[in-house]
Amino acid sequence: MKRIYSNINIADRNSFGVKQQAATLAEFETADDLRDLFMTLKPTEWYVLGAGNNTLFTQDYHGVLFTPICGNRTIIESTDDHIIVRAEAAHDWDTLVGWSVQEGLWGIENLSAIPSSVGAAPVQNIGAYGAEAKDAITVVEYFDTQSMEVVRLSNKECHFAYRESIFKQELKGRAIILAVEFKLSRHAQPNLGYGDVISEVEARGGATLRNIREAICAIRSRKLPDPKVLGNAGSFFKNPIVDRTVAEALRVNHPDMPCYEVAGDQSRVKLAAGWLIDRAGLKGYRDGCVGVHERQALVLVNHGGATGGDVMRLAHFVCMRVKENFGIDISPEVNVL
């Protein structure tokens, strides 16, 4: 089934809550729907708008927004060791995590309470608390808008990296994700190495799936604003990856600056953009109806009535201040349209 809307207000379809119009929005279920829609609408410009948690509209959208509406979940393999579950693009991310925890399946529990749909998860390789979606994804199935065929990519073929994948690179503007398959383990494999996760889990009685999920939900809700209450798109910026020598030079004056190892790359380290913004004096900064969140400086918020342009002006200001203070360039993690 498919449904086409014309001149639609998309304020309630983006978590920043910015008021913009889209010329056309097409909801689809299947690859056949997409084939029909591409033949009928012949879009020259299009974008996939999932749950809208990582997109900032800075103007009205004149092309076609495609929104998946199928969110079924099926177990396609089950052994004593693991299961493989297939979830369609519109499946709510946290519902999948909640289900996995309830079923005693390990692998995505650290990614609890991330506002996302399953289809968006591989695009930016969502990650939190030492885990990334790529650790569990086995296959991503997408509709190729050039060949009009369904293609299946293995984990390796997705070229996952920190907040990166082939869907943000070579397949940008070409692929529409239909479903994702995840391998989840029946054996306990707690991943508690990040920040205050271990103490929160221990305070709840130890490393069970349920305790880990509860701990992560508690940490997130303490630090991150609920987009239903305060418009935002989670981390607005990526944590910058810089040469180790650059970080070492900064550490001379800022010995408490957090630095994280980059897997497979000895010469570079990842800095915490939130720390840089905070130390640039901008945590809680407010400019009219937009601001830097008071508990997590990596998050920009819409206090009500902001346009995408207002958010971008603030983003440029934040980048400038970080550059002035630390000489580091930070760039958006959010897709800016």
**Closest distance to ligand EPU from the beta carbon of 85 (Å):** 23
Residue among 92 and 144 whose Cβ is closer to ligand EPU: 92
d(CA 92, CA 115): 8
Tell me how crowded residue 27 is: count the other CB atoms within 10 A of its CB: 19
274 interacts with ligand EPU by CB under 6 A: yes
**Closest distance to ligand EPU from the beta carbon of 12 (Å):** 20
Active site residues: 163, 235, 333
285 interacts with ligand EPU by CB under 6 A: no
Tell me how crowded residue 59 is: count the other CB atoms within 10 A of its CB: 12
**Closest distance to ligand EPU from the beta carbon of 129 (Å):** 4
d(CA 15, CA 113): 14
Largest CA distance in the chain: 61
- Considering only residues 234 to 253 of the shown chain, the ones binding ligand EPU according to CB under 6 A are 234-235, 238-239
H/E stretch holding 276 reads: helix 273-277
**Closest distance to ligand EPU from the beta carbon of 294 (Å):** 9
d(CA 240, CA 312): 19
- Considering only residues 110 to 139 of the shown chain, the ones binding ligand EPU according to CB under 6 A are 128-129
Residue among 182 and 275 whose Cβ is closer to ligand EPU: 275
259 interacts with ligand EPU by CB under 6 A: no
- Considering only residues 165 to 224 of the shown chain, the ones binding ligand EPU according to CB under 6 A are 194-195, 223-224
- Please compute Rg for the chain using Cα positions: 20
Question: What's the Cα-to-Cα distance from 287 to each of 60, 204, 302, 317, rounded to whole Å?
Answer: 23, 40, 10, 10
Residues at the interface with ligand EPU (CB under 6 A): 128-129, 194-195, 223-224, 234-235, 238-239, 258, 272, 274-275, 278, 283, 296-298, 333
